[in-house]
A and B are shown apart, each in its own frame.
Chain A
Amino acid sequence: MYSIARHTALRQARSACLNAARPTVFQQSSLARLLSTLAVLEQREGKLNSSSLAAVTAGTQLGGSVTAILAGKNAKAVAEEASKVEGIEKILYIENEAYDKGLPEHYAPLLVENIKKGGFSHIFAGHSAFGKTLMPRVAALLDVQQISDITAIENENTFVRPIYAGNAILTVESTDSIKIVTLRGTSFAPAAIGSGSAALEEGLDPKSAPTAEWVSESLAKSDRPELSTAERVVSGGRGLKSKEEFDKIIPPLADAIGAAIGASRAAVDSGFADNSLQVGQTGKNVAPQLYLCAGISGAIQHLAGMKDSKVIAAINKNAEAPIFEVADVGLVADLFDAVPEMTEKLKK
């Protein structure tokens, strides 16, 4: 009896010692050696798109090495800037003007070549217009089933993503040897530009012949904060009734609190606001500190794009509007009175 008890106690003590002597860090690093991330960075006219640094954040969350890739005119200069980003070990840059417009027919073979050469286990990119159009093409060329718009990483194979307009959360495990993943920007903060010292290396340039041609672009110019990364968002819906009213009522309030402007699909479809301002399942996802909306009823497709906001405030004259079910603060009032009054009071 006693000896059994002694044995058990001894074994317990020994296993406790063994566990202490073999810290989990060691296990992680042996795993980490197998993990290597390629973070796809976006650049535009020689400027790094900082929201694409979320891909670096995802790589560092995973552990293992993080390599970043950048292509375009002046890619080397942009890579030098990005080398200060914390968490990147190496940056592959491909200096070639042909990649400036990010045409997927051109950019996908570039990524495929560099992924094959580098033997990366994970490819992360932002779920931006660029990432959305490019990464599935890359995935198909590598025969990988991509995982889109993830909000969390559980482990190296397992990822979390919203489905059905955010009405359900899917945890999914990939059996592919390479994981191609796009990230929801509001769930992964961009890696900080700080004291990093990534090594610069020229990447492979397959110089494939383009099949498509870039013609032109027209981007809405704005001095206001960018919608998807703004701390505060003021959003208007169908209740604004016309473009004139939208422009008269929403921008002054946004300016009074330094907010970006958003809109519901109804407002965009009616021509009150530009398409690029649409918040929702088929528009942008935002998760600001404050989401203040007026004249938006709160359809599920709209809620999909904003329900992760820290504080939601709603002004609507219909007390039964579904938006009040999610709003932290609701005001039942005519927005044509309430919003200008609020703007005046906040300006003071």
Chain B
Amino acid sequence: MSSLRILVPVKRVLDYTLKPRVNKTQTAIDITGLKQSMNPFDELSIEEAVRLRERKVPVDDILAFSAGPAKSQDVLRTAMAMGADRALHVVEEKEDLEPLGVAKLLAQVVKDEDRNLVILGKQSIDDDAGQTGQMLAGLLGWSQATQASKVEVEGDVVTVTKEVDGGVETVKSKLPMVVTTDLRLNEPRYASLPNIMKAKKKPLVKKALEDYGIDLKKRLKTVKVTEPPVRKGGGKVEDVDGLIGKLKELGAL
């Protein structure tokens, strides 16, 4: 029976409660001075990794990973306060990495660190691409289970219930495997103050993109970023008859 060596990639994104604003030059979202946090789906990934250990599934260690600016260390510390054992940070200040680039980096980390289970969020709430986990599985030739709402590990077999259109589907595979998390998987814990203090002492290794020697040249060019057309409310009606009347007038009924 093989024990789990888990990798959990996390991303620092604009906090989900904030409304994004397009910058004046229409080249990006203006995030300066706004609160950023761990991508909500990545919290579920860390939580699931920690719960596997708490469910007495043998877990060797849980490695949290992030690629991005120096501030990404905040989310790695949060991951460690939630229960990750150590962290790896690939520092990149200039560019936002694309999912394919991140997947290539992760594939190298998986090899360097001898991982056998990678748990990622199903999407990041900034780019909404939903690609990295599947790309990583493809690059490694591993099984994948996306949008997991339940993960069970028995020996070296992982059984995952996935959310699909119209319901759920269950698949199983031997390790190694890539799993991406959906909202229903669990409820992430809050990091307690003692655990936040302890997390400061856990090892966090910093590396540079160059250390990996992977070509991460961007494939996509941003032409422009614009605000979506604004929808204006049409006002209120007094009662149900008014509502039905207005909907008929609008041709919706």
Residues of chain A touching chain B, judged by Cβ–Cβ distance below 8 Å, are 101, 103-105, 108, 128-130, 132-141, 143-149, 154, 158, 162-176, 211-220, 226, 228, 232, 257, 265, 269, 274-276, 281-282, 284, 289-290, 292, 300-301, 307, 310-313, 315, 319, 324-333, 338, 341-342, 345-346
Contact = CB atoms under 8 A, between A and B. Distances in A.
Contact of B227 (A136, A168, A172): A168
A179 to B, nearest CB: 10
B172 A281 contact: no
A303 B110 CA distance: 38
Q: Is the interface of B mostly helix, strand, loop or mixed?
A: mixed
B138 interface: yes
A166 B98 CA distance: 19
B188 interface: no
Nearest to A346: B244
A140 B141 CA distance: 10
B235 A346 contact: no
Interface in B210-228: 218-228
B38 to A, nearest CB: 16
B203 interface: no
Contacts of A144: 100, 219
Given A146-B99, A174-B220, A307 B226 contact: no
Given A216-B170, A281-B128, A136 B99 contact: yes
B15 to A, nearest CB: 12
Interface stretch (B49-57, B64-72, B78-86, B245-253): B245-253
**Which of B126, B145, B164, B172 has the most A CB atoms < 10 Å from its CB?**
B164
Nearest to A171: B223
B244 A345 contact: yes
B167 interface: yes
A345 B245 CA distance: 11
B166 interface: yes
B224 A171 contact: yes
B146 A132 contact: yes
Contacts of A171: 222-226
Interface string B119-135: 00011011111111111
B128 A149 contact: yes
B111 interface: no
B93 interface: no
Given A105-B143, A148-B128, A214-B169, 10 more contacts: A136-B130, A140-B100, A163-B128, A164-B126, A171-B225, A176-B219, A217-B168, A219-B167, A269-B183, A276-B164
A169 B226 contact: yes
Nearest to B144: A104
Contacts of A329: 234-237, 243, 246-247, 250
Contact of A330 (B131, B162, B235, B250): B235
Given A170-B225, A212-B172, A217-B164, A164 B125 contact: yes
Given A145-B99, A341-B240, A140 B128 contact: no
Contacts of B137: 104-105, 137
Residue among A132, A216, A220, A345 with max Cβ neighbours from chain B (10 Å): A132
